[in-house]
Amino acid sequence: MAADVGKKLLQEVEEVGLDEILESIRLKHEPDVCYLNFPPLDRLLRTVLEARAASKGTTTQPIIEFMSLAAGDSKTHLLYHLCAQAVLPVHLGGKQAAAVVIDANGQYDVQRLGTHIQQLIRQQSGCLSESGDSAQVDQETHSALKHVHIFRPQALDSTTATLDALPQYLFDQRRHHSYDRGVSFVALDPASAFYWQDRAETEDAAFIATTEAPSTTSSTQSGYFQLSKSLKAACKALCCPAIITTWHVVISQSSDNTVRSIRPQLPAMQTTLRLIIHRIPVRKFPPGITLEQALRESPSRQKAVEDCRFECLLNEYEVEERVLRGLKGKDSGFGFAVSSSGVTIHESGEKSDDENVLT
């Protein structure tokens, strides 16, 4: 009888690491903890983590997913901004940390990142002219870029291997300039890059499993499960969150740009917070508009197109009720604009002059 009670009590014991206990304590005593040095996203992340910590009692390093209905919705541009905020020194509004980017499709543009870093430096230093003190701006930009570590694996297996070797690389002071800095985040851009390759390999393995003896069959599990484990292990070792970008690889028949719930295509990644990014469309001309009215509206309409504004909103798919209650009355997203000089963040409620032509 006593043995049965002991077994039952033992089954109810939840085993957690010391790092998870310390992280939950830190959340309770530091309610304004800064994860990414980006207030709109930090607020969302804190709300989600606090709601889940209240039910589970412990937390792990969060994984944030930026997703969209198609490629080209400026997820990488938002990542440029987060990288810049991470690596810039404190006196220029940065976190003075390092950032790791796993560039899965070879399209992460360092020159574009440098342009955005220069824009932030000029904003923080009050030097808005490109000709003003350009040598100092270039020096600060070059110094910041030394702390962005970019890896370009060519397959899912090599991506997993890169993540496994990441702590060893970053803890070796002879191999980089960021040994005295913490890591702000590890980004995988885009995680969807190997979706079709992995799906084909998984389906092939499942087919072979039906024709071979069980002892000789290969694993039919998606490679993204191992990728998720490696990503979590790397973030745990480096004590930092992870960011992944994905696009909705299944073609959607809906043209609704205000969709707030999208089923994730990579459930194996087990993300903490999912955000949907979409471009804010320009309102169509109303029926019956006259030529004079159209010409009068043309400048503001052209400016709205040039502003290239996007919206980033919480993906409510399978979000716990307690999280939605925690976000009630709070901002559940933010906006940003992409231009030739970089990314401009629009806080919630901030309106532009051309707001009347945006739907």
Least-confidence region, from 31-40, 215-224, 321-330: 215-224
State how far the alpha carbon of 243 is from the alpha carbons of 64, 156, 344, in Å.
Answer: 5, 17, 20
State how far the alpha carbon of 307 is from the alpha carbons of 115, 146, 172, 301, 338, in Å.
Answer: 17, 30, 43, 10, 7
Mean pLDDT of 314-333: 78
Dig out the tokens for 19 from the structure: 């790092």
Mean pLDDT of 312-318: 88
Task: Report pLDDT for 281.
Answer: 81
Dig out the tokens for 309 from the structure: 């504004």
Angle at 61 between CA 24 and CA 44, to 5 degrees: 80
Residue 38 near residue 88 (C-beta atoms within 8 A): no
Task: Report pLDDT for 2.
Answer: 67
Task: Say if residue 253's pLDDT is above 60.
Answer: no
Model confidence, pTM: 0.82
Radius of gyration of the chain (CA): 23
Mean pLDDT of 163-168: 97
Least-confidence region, from 19-28, 144-153, 177-186: 19-28
Task: Report pLDDT for 112.
Answer: 95
pLDDT band of residue 301 (cuts 50, 70, 90) is: confident
Task: Report pLDDT for 358.
Answer: 58
19-357: in CATH 3.40.50.150: no
Task: Say if residue 161's pLDDT is above 80.
Answer: yes
Task: Report pLDDT for 57.
Answer: 54
Comparing 6 with 131, which gets the higher pLDDT? Answer: 6
Work out the number of other CB atoms within 10 angstroms of the CB of residue 151. Answer: 18
pLDDT band of residue 341 (cuts 50, 70, 90) is: confident
CA distance 33 to 25: 12
User: Minimal CA–CA distance to 110: which of 86, 76, 133?
Assistant: 76
Dig out the tokens for 39 from the structure: 């207030």
Mean pLDDT score of the chain: 82
pLDDT band of residue 286 (cuts 50, 70, 90) is: confident
CA distance 83 to 189: 12
CA distance 64 to 78: 13
Task: Report pLDDT for 349.
Answer: 47
Mean pLDDT of 80-85: 96
User: Minimal CA–CA distance to 186: which of 44, 42, 314, 63?
Assistant: 63
Least-confidence region, from 65-79, 112-126, 201-215, 275-289: 201-215
State how far the alpha carbon of 76 is from the alpha carbons of 128, 178, 210, 261, in Å.
Answer: 25, 23, 41, 21
pLDDT band of residue 26 (cuts 50, 70, 90) is: low
CA distance 70 to 257: 11
Amino acid at 325: R
| High-pLDDT (> 90) share of the chain, % | 43
Q: Give 289-295's long-range contacts (Cβ < 8 A, gap of 24+).
A: none
Comparing 161 with 9, which gets the higher pLDDT? Answer: 161
Give the tens place of pLDDT for each residue, 52-79.
776 665 567 899 999 988 777 889 999 9
| Order of all β-strands in the sheet with 333-339 | 148-151, 98-103, 183-189, 242-247, 63-68, 273-279, 309-314, 333-339, 342-346
Give the tens place of pLDDT for each residue, 199-250.
888 888 888 878 776 655 456 688 899 999 999 999 999 999 999 999 876 5
Residue 23 near residue 49 (C-beta atoms within 8 A): no
Task: Say if residue 256's pLDDT is above 90.
Answer: no
Instruction: Show Cβ contacts of residue 75 under 8 Å, excluding neighbours closer than 6 positions.
Output: 66, 67, 68, 189, 190, 245, 247, 277
Task: Report pLDDT for 73.
Answer: 82
CA distance 129 to 183: 32
CA distance 162 to 233: 12
CA distance 40 to 180: 28
What is the distance of C-alpha 19 from the center of its chain? 23
CA distance 257 to 254: 8
